[in-house]
Amino acid sequence: MNGDKQGRILETLMRLTNGVGDYAPRPGNDPNRAGPAMLSEIRRVEREIRAETTAPIEYKLAIALRNYTAWYVRGESRKAFLEEVVSHLTRSLIIDPQQCGGKCELARVQIDEQQVRDLPNAMRLISELEKDGLLPDWLSSFAARARRWSGLMMVADNSDFSGMDPSPAVFAEERTKLRKLLVDRMKTKDMEAARRVGKRLYNLALLVAYLYGDHDCGSSVTGAMYDRAHQQMRTVASKFNFRFMGPIQGARFLSSRDYGRLEKVFGRQAHGLPLAQVRELI
């Protein structure tokens, strides 16, 4: 495919994927017009590249179909379009096996979208990205979720969080993993393992309180908050290795049920730890 033709097609696909303009769901855009118009443009591009295509075009087509599906398709009808997304991403990787963006997006789709979920392939792609040092921070929470669903959960024997991205989504996924492991260890009455998991869960809560105060990690934070937390992680992430001191008063990262389990493992503490005192621990 000559450069002029590829450039023209990619320019069209950029208009379909940039989240603004005539096709995106925004005030002033009629979804009954924008949706069909967007799909019509996607189909036109697909017809144009039947004889010849490239990895960047296949990748951008996948993103265009992903956006169209997210914006305008609901229910069971999503499956056919998501399968097309997977097909275009797979084709882009056949043409260029080292394409980082294609690997990341295919892994995400095959984890996050139940109708096309393929955890073994997603984990293979994630392993390749990790091996090459190319796994982006935003994909870390998806990777942790895939490992949990695949039964590959592991917990460190310490409370060193240095390798963790400080995004709320990653912290929330780690909390979910540790909760499940703690419940499992308590059911089997392996109290030594339960204490190890419980200590990491509690220190994770201390770290979150240190970085984000009373945030429950159920939603995102501002860019400035994340940047500050990322900077602080360099010096404090390996320093949270405290014994259980009772509920962190004023913090919302752990639930009353979490603290009930921790008290069964470590014993009840007469006084909890005020949120304001967490930053004094380091």
pLDDT per residue over 254-278, tens digit each?
A: 999 999 999 999 999 988 999 999 9
Whether 140 and 189 map to the same domain: the answer is: no
Does residue 38 sit in the same domain as residue 174? no
Same domain flag for 9 and 120 = yes
In the chain, the number of structural domains is: 2
Residues 172, 142 within the same domain: no
Decide if 211 is inside a domain: yes
User: Is residue 152 over pLDDT 60?
Assistant: no
Q: Is the pLDDT of residue 151 over 80?
A: no
Q: Show which of 83, 118, 149 is a domain's final residue.
A: 149
Residue 72 lies in domain: 3-149
Is the Cα torsion angle 144, 145, 147, 148 positive or negative in sign?
Answer: positive
Over residues 52-110, the pLDDT tens digits come to 999 999 999 999 999 999 999 999 999 999 999 999 999 999 999 999 999 999 999 99
How many other CB atoms are found less than 10 A from the CB of residue 164? Answer: 18
Query: 12 and 136, same structural domain?
Result: yes
* Judgement on whether residues 126 and 183 belong to the same structural domain of the protein: no
Q: Tell me, what CATH number does 67's domain have?
A: 1.25.40
243 has pLDDT over 70: yes
Q: Provide the mean pLDDT of the chain.
A: 91
Do you know the residue count of the chain? 282
The pTM (predicted TM-score) of the whole model is 0.61
pLDDT of residue 37: 92
* Dihedral, 174, 175, 181, 186 alpha carbons, nearest 10: 160
Last residue of a domain, one of 87, 121, 149: 149
171: pLDDT strictly greater than 90: yes
